[in-house]
Amino acid sequence: MSNILAIVGRPNVGKSTLFNRLVERRQAIMDNESGVTRDRHYGHGEWNGKPFTAIDTGGYVEGSDDIFEEAIRRQVKEALKEASVILFMVDCDTGLHGLDQNFANVIREIDKPVYLAANKADNRERMLAANEFYSLGLNAPIFPIAAISGSGTGDLLDEVANHFKDREPDQNDLPKISILGRPNVGKSSFVNVLIGKERSIVTNVAGTTRDATDTRYNLYGKDFLLTDTAGIRRKSKVHENIEFYSVMRAIRAIRDSDVCIVMIDAQIGLTSQDMNIIGLADKHKKGIILMVNKWDLIEKSSHTANEFRESIENKLGHLSHVPIIFTSVMNKQRVMQTLELALNVYENRLRKVPTSKLNEIIGKEIESYPPPAVRGRYIKIKYMTQLPTQTPTFAFFCNFPQHIKEPYQRYLTNKLRKHFDFKGVPVKVVFRKK
Ligand code: GDP
Ligand code: GDP
């Protein structure tokens, strides 16, 4: 899966305005590794049923013209390396600008589909002004748009999405497990231990993306695919954008997997970047386990693990159902259990509760604590069933679905988790009119 749209152009032409329009929810992931000051934004969107990732190349380093030229080059090149389609944005209000030509020169060297978005074409006059940009000499169609109102963006996206691949049907039914985490937490070591231990690694699956290794394992008679996002950093000679690549890779790996093993360093604890990754995995409704590695480096008393667990659960908030496992990859401690746990979570995600059992068990819980009445009206949940969705979703049929509030939804979710094993997977409840 590599539907990636890079939005490039000089400052103030309207890149972030368009980006915000394209993505479902802004997911700003800041570059905070290696002292990179500029930020890039990544977001997930969908057009004509095709999922894609948009990159807003954002700001850049200010400086002399030379530095500036270099900054543009870097900004564009970094984004373009990953992109499947390039959206080069210019401004009909200010018209052709010297920097536009600089961007055009860089883009010309790249062999990818390019579209020229002539933004701020708010009215007819400015739409005509868009023709001026033909003089950039790019062999790219020009679309006058107004990012601020959305005018013209639909036609543009129809064209852009032609280059995107369709949502991939599941290649096979093998559980797909990915290993994610910040650099140096121990991801490669983990994979190496597995490889050392398991003689039955089958192959590197053909046709996988060049920057993640999918390895097929057979463990205790279970077949699964492991996506290792670690090795790439070493292969990449581009030292300044570790963060960029690791984020892109993480997004892709999350999307393509069923269960994400998020690995952290016990000495560092759960960072906001880890929370970003976990949040993304949850948003994509994936199974998650948290692997606290380098546990050997922690000085322990009898309750260290419990305290650690509690503090992490607090930070996880509504994601505290994520199972936590303490490992030392170095000492080969709980390495296999981690995989078993991931496979358990995989099973949990597929779990289908029979309707009769669901009504019997959750029906009792509702009886003992019914939804509170609203303005003298009794709310009656008559019936419930699990929907045939990819992740566990339960529909509750009732007389006033709109009156069931958040705390009661949480009550039901907790009861579902209590009676059925959904550890590590998102559980959703929805309310429908009977
Ligand atoms: P970026 O630096 O390229 O990301 O540009 P921004 O998205 O921050 O936009 C720069 C300015 O242009 C903001 O004040 C926007 O409100 C404005 N802008 C963006 N799109 C349009 C548009 O379609 N029409 C007009 N008139 N202004 C726009
Ligand atoms: P990656 O960047 O996430 O792939 O991390 P690596 O696997 O390269 O590990 C980074 C460093 O941490 C290496 O020096 C490993 O030897 C070390 N390391 C990995 N796992 C453990 C562990 O469980 N305990 C200790 N003490 N060190 C570890």
271 neighbors 264 (Cβ within 8 angstroms): yes
Ligand nearest to the CA of 242: 2
User: Can you tell me the mean pLDDT for 3-15?
Assistant: 89
Binding site membership of 187 for ligand 2 (Cβ less than 6 Å): yes
Min mean pLDDT across 128-137, 197-206, 258-267 is at 197-206
Beta-bridged to residue 425, according to DSSP, are: none
Binding site membership of 293 for ligand 2 (Cβ less than 6 Å): yes
Binding site membership of 328 for ligand 2 (Cβ less than 6 Å): yes
Give the distance (Å) from ligand 1 centre to CA of residue 18: 8
Q: Kindly indicate the confidence band of residue 108, based on its pLDDT and cuts at 50, 70 and 90.
A: confident
User: What is the per-residue pLDDT for 289?
Assistant: 97
Tell which residue, 134, 130, 135, has the closest CA to residue 146.
130
The residue whose CA is least distant from atom 25 of ligand 1 is 120
Residue appearing with tokens 């005509």? 128
What does the alpha-carbon distance between residue 246 and residue 254 come to, in Å, rounded to a whole number?
12
Give the distance (Å) from ligand 2 centre to CA of residue 326: 14
User: What is the per-residue pLDDT for 223?
Assistant: 72
Q: Which numbered atom of ligand 2 lies nearest the CA of 191?
A: 7
Binding site membership of 329 for ligand 2 (Cβ less than 6 Å): yes
The residue whose CA is least distant from atom 12 of ligand 1 is 14
The residue whose CA is least distant from atom 17 of ligand 1 is 14
Give the distance (Å) from ligand 1 centre to CA of residue 93: 10
What does the alpha-carbon distance between residue 385 and residue 387 come to, in Å, rounded to a whole number?
6
Q: Which numbered atom of ligand 1 lies nearest the CA of 10?
A: 3
User: What is the per-residue pLDDT for 394?
Assistant: 95
The residue whose CA is least distant from atom 19 of ligand 2 is 186
Min mean pLDDT across 17-21, 30-34, 339-343, 380-384 is at 30-34
User: What is the per-residue pLDDT for 204?
Assistant: 36
Q: Kindly indicate the confidence band of residue 62, based on its pLDDT and cuts at 50, 70 and 90.
A: very low
Asked if the model's pLDDT at residue 427 lies above 60, the reply is yes
Cα→Cα distances 233→37, 73, 180, 209, 225, Å: 20, 21, 13, 15, 21
Binding site membership of 181 for ligand 2 (Cβ less than 6 Å): yes
272 neighbors 280 (Cβ within 8 angstroms): no
Residue 206 burial by CB count (10 A; 0-12/13-18/19+): exposed, middle or buried?
A: exposed
Min mean pLDDT across 105-119, 215-229, 262-276, 315-329 is at 215-229
Binding site membership of 185 for ligand 2 (Cβ less than 6 Å): yes
Pocket test for ligand 2, best of 329, 333, 337, 338 (most atoms within 8 A of CB): 329
Asked if the model's pLDDT at residue 33 lies above 80, the reply is no
Give the distance (Å) from ligand 2 centre to CA of residue 183: 9
What does the alpha-carbon distance between residue 147 and residue 119 come to, in Å, rounded to a whole number?
6
User: Can you tell me the mean pLDDT for 43-50?
Assistant: 79
Pocket (CB within 6 angstroms of ligand 1): 9, 11-17, 119-120, 122, 146-148
Binding site membership of 246 for ligand 2 (Cβ less than 6 Å): no
What percent of the chain shows pLDDT beyond 90? 46
User: What is the per-residue pLDDT for 221?
Assistant: 65
Could you read off the pLDDT of 347-401 as tens digits, one per residue? Answer: 999 999 999 999 999 999 999 999 998 888 889 999 999 998 888 999 999 999 8
Could you read off the pLDDT of 314-333 as tens digits, one per residue? Answer: 999 989 999 999 999 999 99
Give the distance (Å) from ligand 1 centre to CA of residue 146: 9
Mean pLDDT rounded to a whole number for the chain: 81
Q: Which numbered atom of ligand 1 lies nearest the CA of 19?
A: 7
Taking residue 30's Cβ as centre, other Cβ atoms within 10 Å add up to: 16
Could you read off the pLDDT of 133-163 as tens digits, one per residue? Answer: 999 999 899 999 999 999 999 899 999 999 9
The residue whose CA is least distant from atom 18 of ligand 2 is 186
287 neighbors 349 (Cβ within 8 angstroms): yes
Q: Kindly indicate the confidence band of residue 69, based on its pLDDT and cuts at 50, 70 and 90.
A: low
Tell which residue, 233, 305, 303, 308, has the closest CA to residue 270.
308
Min mean pLDDT across 42-46, 93-97, 179-183 is at 42-46
Asked if the model's pLDDT at residue 37 lies above 50, the reply is no
Give the distance (Å) from ligand 1 centre to CA of residue 148: 7
Binding site membership of 296 for ligand 2 (Cβ less than 6 Å): yes
CA atoms within 13 A on the CB side of 109: 10
pTM exceeding the 0.85 threshold for the entire prediction: no
User: What is the per-residue pLDDT for 244?
Assistant: 59
89 neighbors 143 (Cβ within 8 angstroms): no
Binding site membership of 186 for ligand 2 (Cβ less than 6 Å): yes
User: What is the per-residue pLDDT for 381?
Assistant: 94
Tell which residue, 49, 50, 54, 51, has the closest CA to residue 19.
54
Could you read off the pLDDT of 187-240 as tens digits, one per residue? Answer: 888 887 876 644 333 333 333 233 445 666 666 666 777 776 654 343 344 444
Compare 252 and 160 and report the one with higher pLDDT.
160
Residue appearing with tokens 């509504």? 318
Beta-bridged to residue 6, according to DSSP, are: 55, 86
Three-state secondary structure readout of the chain: CCCEEEEECCCCCCHHHHHHHHCCCCEEECCCCCCCCCCEEEEEEEECCEEEEEEECCCCCCCCHHHHHHHHHHHHHHHHHHCCEEEEEEECCCCCCHHHHHHHHHHHCCCCCEEEEEECCCCHHHHHHHHHHHHHCCCCCEEECECCCCECHHHHHHHHHCCCCCCCCCCCCCCEEEEEECCCCCHHHHHHHHHHHCCCCCCECCCCCCCCEEEEEEECCEEEEEEECCCHHHHCCCHHHHHHHHHHHHHHHHHCCCEEEEEEECCCCCCHHHHHHHHHHHHCCCEEEEEEECHHHCCCCCCHHHHHHHHHHHHHHHHCCCCEEECECCCCECHHHHHHHHHHHHHHHHCCCCHHHHHHHHHHHHHHCCCCCECCECCCEEEEEECCCCCCEEEEEECCHHHCCHHHHHHHHHHHHHHCCCCCCCCEEEEEEC
